[in-house]
Structure 1
């Protein structure tokens, strides 16, 4: 009996060590993959606050929460199983799907730019938006945010998957789930703080020390500038992420002229003494954004201009 108990304890110790090693593998893989996906996380954080603009203060956090729940659903119910299935049975399909997502991001960003420079053409749309009830407008904004999040989350999961592709399936699944959960909490926690920045400022401005009151007034005054800057950053981020996905996809399929031009521009810009890493990165981002703008402009033309010509005829 004692020998049987000792054997059982040995088995339990072995299982515990195996579980600990697996946890180390999962946390290590998740950490490494999460760092590589950080660039897309910044884009997601910049894009999302704009969807909560224009609503009463009591609806801002509930809107952010709805988008966060949609993001969890995107990552854990759709993208995680889809990524594992594709990795196991159709790894060739990952790049084309990502390229389609990149083209969609480029299209959305290009539409925003066109709208910003053509106010008179979208006046009718603004009137239609005003005619909507707040509930309808909220549902539309949340739906748009979740669709955009699906593309950005897909890029995050794809980057993470590429980093854990050599791991066992269980480790891949656990690492991707951990990356998805932690990055979603981080992104929407920051987004919630951004959209409530003016309310926090008002609260600070009403009491406390002179320094806190000054900080509160500064937060309130900075809110419009911050939201405007985030709108610009978010649009630019959608362009360079979408364009970057397309460039990498072209390189993957050996359609090399455009990727070679981007690489050459980045290499040339990286030669600047002292700041080569920064200028090289800026060159890559700018070239990717130009590619995104070209692709997005072509899609906008197909989606909007051709139907208008048919209507005119």
Structure 2
């Protein structure tokens, strides 16, 4: 075999090995980043079902599809370029922008609580006029995509922090991989949750008694599960938003609030050694939720005063 061809094949083999190693590095980095963002991903999964409850079953999956498409646009067309640009030219701006997004989540969660306590309900959620259905659906999808933008920003920021020392190309690739995997995972689970009652109906018509019992249980239980997820989703907005604010305050050393939250979390972990991680997380989430309620209530109050004037 000619020497030049042998050298060329050696070069190709070397490039292939290098590419494979790079892919392994990207996969490992994406896996680490996705694991660190798991908490926000779970919150995102809890938040989304509340936007599609109350609509006819044949509109649930199309709505989830629209929200998922909006989510991937958020991540790839808005957040990824912004994250790479900020990482390269203005890394100092990432935390303040996240805090603004966290404040918005706090505001949205508290506003929904206030709206619920006032006794008013959204038109079209459970039987509005048919001519308003398309408009209400569009509003719900738009609201879900706005909320997803904030949660996705937190996910992308966590992923970016884990690869901050890598090249811009690696950062962009890892963020893109995380964006696709998180979107598929979140909205795949959401789709399964909202269609679980239909799965129950199908099982209830089966031949096996056990499967029919499971199907009836799903049909009876899913309305309660969806209601619980709606409450959890609102709570998630507030504690994630509050957590972003607390983290930002800690970053800038502005107040003792982050210290109080960490000390309380550590005390809870030491008090329950058998479930230290869970106890610490519960206390941290609860205190972050308190911060979120205060921030959200303040914004709601200010906006009401402005509206009155």
- Which TM-score bucket, shorter chain as reference? over 0.9
Deviations 1:134-185 (A, max 9, x none): 1111100000000000000000000000001111111111111001101100
SS of the residue corresponding to residue 135 of structure 1 reads helix
Question: What is the aligned partner in structure 1 of residue 176 from structure 2?
Answer: 177
Match 1:130 to one of 118, 128, 131:
128
Question: What is the aligned partner in structure 1 of residue 14 from structure 2?
Answer: 14
Question: What is the aligned partner in structure 1 of residue 297 from structure 2?
Answer: 297
| Contact kept in structure 1, 2:43 and 2:236, CA below 8 Å | yes
The runs of 4+ residues in structure 1 deviating greater than 6 Å are none
Question: What is the aligned partner in structure 2 of residue 35 from structure 1?
Answer: 35
Pairwise CA distance, 1:2: 0.8
Question: What is the aligned partner in structure 1 of residue 165 from structure 2?
Answer: 166
Question: What is the aligned partner in structure 1 of residue 75 from structure 2?
Answer: 75
Moved more, 52-61 or 26-35: 52-61
Deviations 1:91-150 (A, max 9, x none): 00100000000000011110111122221xx36x64999356111111000000000000
Question: What is the aligned partner in structure 1 of residue 258 from structure 2?
Answer: 259
Question: What is the aligned partner in structure 1 of residue 92 from structure 2?
Answer: 92
Deviations 1:183-236 (A, max 9, x none): 100100000011111111111111220111111100000111101110111111
SS of the residue corresponding to residue 128 of structure 2 reads helix
Deviations 1:229-248 (A, max 9, x none): 10111111111110000001
Residue correspondence of structure 1 range 268-307 to structure 2 within 5 A: 268-273=267-272, 274-307=274-307
Distance (whole Å) between structure 2 residues aligned to residue 113 and residue 13 of structure 1: 60
Moved more, 47-56 or 25-34: 47-56
Question: What is the aligned partner in structure 1 of residue 25 from structure 2?
Answer: 25
Distance (whole Å) between structure 2 residues aligned to residue 209 and residue 304 of structure 1: 57
Which ranges of structure 1 fall in alignment gaps of 5 or more residues?
A: none
Which ranges of structure 2 fall in alignment gaps of 5 or more residues?
A: none
Distance (whole Å) between structure 2 residues aligned to residue 43 and residue 277 of structure 1: 18
Question: What is the aligned partner in structure 1 of residue 143 from structure 2?
Answer: 144
SS of the residue corresponding to residue 206 of structure 2 reads coil
1:217–1:127 distance in 2 versus 1, CA, 3 Å: closer
Deviations 1:266-306 (A, max 9, x none): 12222214333322211111110000000000001111243
Distance (whole Å) between structure 2 residues aligned to residue 267 and residue 256 of structure 1: 19
| Contact kept in structure 1, 2:63 and 2:141, CA below 8 Å | yes
Distance (whole Å) between structure 2 residues aligned to residue 40 and residue 127 of structure 1: 29
TM-score by length of 2: 0.95
Question: What is the aligned partner in structure 2 of residue 231 from structure 1?
Answer: 230
Deviations 1:20-67 (A, max 9, x none): 111011001000000000000100100101111111111110000000
Distance (whole Å) between structure 1 residues aligned to residue 296 and residue 193 of structure 2: 28
Distance (whole Å) between structure 2 residues aligned to residue 82 and residue 19 of structure 1: 27
Aligned residues: 306
1:304–1:199 distance in 2 versus 1, CA, 3 Å: same
Question: What is the aligned partner in structure 1 of residue 59 from structure 2?
Answer: 59
| Contact kept in structure 1, 2:107 and 2:296, CA below 8 Å | yes
Distance (whole Å) between structure 2 residues aligned to residue 271 and residue 182 of structure 1: 35
Distance (whole Å) between structure 2 residues aligned to residue 127 and residue 278 of structure 1: 39
